[in-house]
Chains A and B, each alone.
Chain A
Amino acid sequence: MATTFEPAVLTRDTEMELLPAEPDGALYRRLYSYMLKCRMVEERIRVLYRQGRFAGNYFAAVGQEATEVGVTLDLLAEDTIAPSHRNFVTHIMKGTPLPLMFAQIYGRKTSPDQGRSAPAHCGYAPLNVITPSSTIAAQLNIGTGIALAYKMQRRRNVVVALSGEGSTSLGFWHEAVNFAGVRRLPILFVVENNGYAESVPVALQTAVSDISVKAAAYGIPGISVDGNDVVAVYAAAREAIDRARNGEGATLLECKTYRWYGHSEIDPAKYRDPAEVEFWKSRDPIPAMERRMESVDLWTSQWKKELEAEFNREIDEAIAFADNSPQPEGDEALDQVYSFSIRERELERKTWEPRFAGRLAK
């Protein structure tokens, strides 16, 4: 990222209109097709994992697509996404090429991280997606710093920082939201409340029923929305992002949703009541959007089939790219620790001979 104080060149018009009362066909189609794509990508990744095609683990956001899409659609290239382990699919809305995403899952040399990070813990510098670590909530504070820089640089850019409800128990979370409040930073904190942090239910995480109330403590607006209603999520995020862009500071947006599968691919999630899972599956955001669009003649099953065919083709190509990409060489582990090479230091340790003539004579 360049050191510059010139206003960034915005790739899209920043004048965001409020959502029209009438359904916006083009917008609905985009929201829907991105949700479908996210679902298909993650379901495919899960199949690849079970087939043993990649090592490590994966953290699917299946069931949460309305939130993933609603808060990240229509960001500018220069805006930043600060994702957690759960938000790999947000790359799709930002525009990270799908082949690079699969190369990352596969740990290949062609991945943006060249095989360093675990699956899904991936950033993409050209489009300002922060490389997440595994430390819960850390990305929020780093995102806050990017928002601080945007403000200092007089850029009209924003940061969307995502985390789960579990993260709100950590000190880091509160430090980030407080700081953003104090300095009126252009950042949207999205808390994806999917009911669980690994096995721990939200009731053991916090005594409040709406996490958005925590915003009051930091002097910023807090909103809770149905995280399975993509239009509601998008509208709330849009408003908050517009406010941030206009110098009106941060917002906390809680999206109430549900994680269909385990915390990760190795978690059978036995700690949940199957009836609870069934209830939330009946609230699947994708068919909900289909019904909504069909009622105003924006959706047909034929169109869905066409989308599926297109996305499957894209996914197949991306997987082929990953499959054909080389593994990194072992000694590349020595690169990019610092801005300078440590290869010589690590690989060529020389031995020193006595040089003191007086001593030899002793």
Chain B
Amino acid sequence: MAVMTYIDAINSALREEMARDPSVFLIGEDIGKMGGAFRATKGLLEEFGEERVIDSPLAEGVIVSSSIGAAMAGMRPVPEIQFVDFITPAMDAITQQAAKLRYRSAGTQTCPLTVRVCYGGSVGGGLYHSQSNTSWFIHCPGLVVVAPSRPYDAKGLLKAAIRDDNPVMFFEHKKLYRSMKEEVPETDYTVPLMKAAIAREGKDITAISYGYTLQLTLQAAEQMRQKHGVEVEVIDLRTLAPLDTDTFLESVAKTSRAVVIHEDNRTLGIGAEVAATIAEQAFDCLDAPILRVTSPDVPLLPAAAELEKFCTVSADKIVAALERSLAY
């Protein structure tokens, strides 16, 4: 065990997977000498050489599409998209090529690649360094979309993603990179994809989130205990697509109340899918309307501190929603 930040955990997963499997290679902007915009690939060029840590041209389209081809030819590419805000040039590669290759070839051609994407706000990044955009990919069958909330999961899920035979979109929240530390094994382990986790057990109300807002949800749960003696069950979705619905449905059947929290825009965010699933499959379990705590439907995130604060999810906003649900 070692105490690691989220970024350490990512780095450690990449190093271990590259050492384990010679077909794993990295490609992206500034990932070589510089070790990545956030230093996720620090030291890997020195350890594995230029052929396996490729500083690409400034072209997201070819970063992902060349990874698709390489994966078809037996490699395990891990392309990096510096900011999800700049993923749009790679949208065709991801949504039309990678996501559908297995389907349109009836399983005869596949591209196991893991696209690492840095996302999220609350760092004063402004409109083009703060977006989440997970919904774009959740809406695209054929992709596995993963968004870990803590260092332990970041390492275990990244290793699982690299070994998985499907194209995986791996969302890393920039605010998590250095804001928390925890014990992470230095030995080999994986965390299963497509499996949510109960991040905190409780019996009174279910709060469902992922990524950075999962940490805020845990803070809100603690406040609820101290303020009201309420036990909030916190579900960490971990994989956003395909969604593990059983874990949160099981929880709602126990608590009868649900609040969904995410940083993406409200409309058609994962909260909409979670709420619809609960309404369809657990309607009789509910004692209160399902509530959502999300960013508003505006471009995310305006730069000025007050504007940003207004838009982003906070522990206080989550507490308010939990209280509203309980008061219903």
Residues of A whose CB lies within 8 Å of any CB of B are 1-5, 80, 111-114, 116-117, 121, 123, 125, 130-131, 133, 135, 138, 141-150, 152-153, 171-172, 175-176, 178-179, 182-183, 335-339, 342, 345, 349-356, 358-359
Q: Is B224 interfacial (CB-CB < 8 Å)?
A: no
Q: Is the CB of A147 within 8 A of B69?
A: yes
Tell me, in angstroms, the Cα distance from A95 to B281 when the chains sit together.
Answer: 51
Q: Is the CB of B92 within 8 A of A172?
A: yes
Q: Is the CB of B62 within 8 A of A141?
A: yes
Main secondary structure of the interface of A (DSSP, over half): loop
The smallest beta-carbon distance between B200 and chain A, in angstroms, is 17
Chain A to chain B contacts (Cβ below 8 Å), 16 pairs: A1-B72, A3-B75, A116-B106, A133-B96, A133-B104, A135-B96, A141-B62, A142-B72, A145-B67, A146-B69, A150-B73, A152-B25, A153-B74, A175-B59, A175-B62, A359-B287
Known interface pairs A179-B59, A339-B165. Does A354 touch B253 (Cβ–Cβ under 8 Å)? yes
Residues of B whose CB lies within 8 Å of any CB of A are 22-23, 25, 51-52, 54, 56-57, 59, 61-62, 65-77, 89, 92-93, 96-97, 100-110, 141-142, 144, 164-166, 203, 242, 249-250, 252-256, 280-282, 284-285, 287
Tell me, in angstroms, the Cα distance from A150 to B69 when the chains sit together.
Answer: 10
- Pick from A121, A183, A356: contact of B203, CB under 8 Å: A356
Which residues of chain A are near B165, meaning CB under 8 Å? 339
Which residues of chain B are near A121, meaning CB under 8 Å? 104
The smallest beta-carbon distance between B91 and chain A, in angstroms, is 10
Q: Considering the complex, give the chain A residue whose CB is closest to the CB of B277.
A: A349
Q: Is the CB of B142 within 8 A of A352?
A: no
Known interface pairs A338-B142, A352-B285, A355-B253. Does A172 touch B65 (Cβ–Cβ under 8 Å)? yes
Q: Considering the complex, give the chain B residue whose CB is closest to the CB of A358.
A: B203
Total A-B pairs in contact (CB under 8 Å)? 183
Q: Is the CB of B166 within 8 A of A338?
A: yes
With most chain A CB atoms within 10 A of its CB, the pick from B66, B75, B164, B165 is B66
- Pick from B51, B65, B100, B108: contact of A125, CB under 8 Å: B108
Q: Is the CB of A351 within 8 A of B281?
A: yes
The smallest beta-carbon distance between B79 and chain A, in angstroms, is 10
Q: Considering the complex, give the chain A residue whose CB is closest to the CB of B93.
A: A141
Tell me, in angstroms, the Cα distance from A339 to B67 when the chains sit together.
Answer: 18
Which residues of chain B are near A178, meaning CB under 8 Å? 57, 59, 62
Q: Is the CB of B70 within 8 A of A146?
A: yes
Q: Considering the complex, give the chain B residue whose CB is closest to the CB of A338.
A: B166
Which residues of chain A are near B256, meaning CB under 8 Å? 354, 356, 359
Q: Is the CB of B242 within 8 A of A342?
A: yes
Known interface pairs A142-B97, A152-B25, A339-B164. Does A354 touch B284 (Cβ–Cβ under 8 Å)? yes
With most chain A CB atoms within 10 A of its CB, the pick from B72, B75, B242 is B72
Which residues of chain B are near A183, meaning CB under 8 Å? 54
- Pick from B56, B106, B166: contact of A113, CB under 8 Å: B106
Known interface pairs A141-B61, A141-B66, A152-B25. Does A352 touch B242 (Cβ–Cβ under 8 Å)? no
Tell me, in angstroms, the Cα distance from A1 to B144 when the chains sit together.
Answer: 21
Known interface pairs A1-B73, A179-B57, A354-B256. Does A142 touch B103 (Cβ–Cβ under 8 Å)? no
Tell me, in angstroms, the Cα distance from A283 to B68 when the chains sit together.
Answer: 39
Q: Is the CB of A112 within 8 A of B105?
A: yes
- Pick from A113, A176, A179, A352: contact of B282, CB under 8 Å: A352
Which residues of chain A are near B73, meaning CB under 8 Å? 1, 80, 145-146, 149-150, 153
- Pick from B72, B141, B255: contact of A145, CB under 8 Å: B72
Q: Is the CB of B253 within 8 A of A123?
A: no
Tell me, in angstroms, the Cα distance from A172 to B142 when the chains sit together.
Answer: 22
Q: Is the CB of B103 within 8 A of A116?
A: yes
Which residues of chain A are near B252, meaning CB under 8 Å? 352
Tell me, in angstroms, the Cα distance from A130 to B108 when the chains sit together.
Answer: 10
Q: Considering the complex, give the chain B residue whose CB is closest to the CB of A359.
A: B256
Tell me, in angstroms, the Cα distance from A350 to B253 when the chains sit together.
Answer: 13
The smallest beta-carbon distance between A220 and chain B, in angstroms, is 14
The smallest beta-carbon distance between A3 and chain B, in angstroms, is 4
Q: Is the CB of B65 within 8 A of A142?
A: yes
The smallest beta-carbon distance between B170 and chain A, in angstroms, is 16
Which residues of chain B are near A153, meaning CB under 8 Å? 73-75
Tell me, in angstroms, the Cα distance from A147 to B71 when the chains sit together.
Answer: 11
Which residues of chain B are near A354, meaning CB under 8 Å? 253, 256, 284-285
The smallest beta-carbon distance between B111 and chain A, in angstroms, is 8
Tell me, in angstroms, the Cα distance from A112 to B165 when the chains sit together.
Answer: 20
Which residues of chain A are near B110, meaning CB under 8 Å? 339
Q: Is the CB of A138 within 8 A of B65?
A: yes
Which residues of chain A are near B255, meaning CB under 8 Å? 356
Which residues of chain A are near B164, meaning CB under 8 Å? 339
Q: Is the CB of A117 within 8 A of B104?
A: yes
Tell me, in angstroms, the Cα distance from A148 to B59 when the chains sit together.
Answer: 16
Q: Is the CB of B75 within 8 A of A144?
A: no
Which residues of chain B are near A142, meaning CB under 8 Å? 65-66, 68-69, 72, 97
Q: Is the CB of A131 within 8 A of B101?
A: yes
Which residues of chain A are near B105, meaning CB under 8 Å? 112-113, 116-117, 123, 125, 131
Which residues of chain B are near A171, meaning CB under 8 Å? 61, 89
Which residues of chain A are near B284, meaning CB under 8 Å? 351-354
Q: Is the CB of A355 within 8 A of B103?
A: no
The smallest beta-carbon distance between A296 and chain B, in angstroms, is 41
- Pick from B22, B67, B101, B249: contact of A352, CB under 8 Å: B249
Tell me, in angstroms, the Cα distance from A1 to B101 when the chains sit together.
Answer: 14
Tell me, in angstroms, the Cα distance from A146 to B75 when the chains sit together.
Answer: 9
Which residues of chain B are near A351, meaning CB under 8 Å? 281-282, 284
Q: Considering the complex, give the chain B residue whose CB is closest to the CB of A142.
A: B69
- Pick from A117, A131, A356: contact of B253, CB under 8 Å: A356
The smallest beta-carbon distance between A54 and chain B, in angstroms, is 18
The smallest beta-carbon distance between A348 and chain B, in angstroms, is 11
Q: Is the CB of B106 within 8 A of A112?
A: yes
Tell me, in angstroms, the Cα distance from A141 to B108 when the chains sit together.
Answer: 19
Q: Is the CB of B92 within 8 A of A116?
A: no
Q: Is the CB of A179 within 8 A of B56?
A: yes
Can you name 4 extra interface pairs (CB under 8 A) apart from A148-B69, A172-B62, A352-B252?
A: A5-B23, A135-B96, A179-B57, A339-B165
Q: Considering the complex, give the chain A residue whose CB is closest to the CB of B249.
A: A352
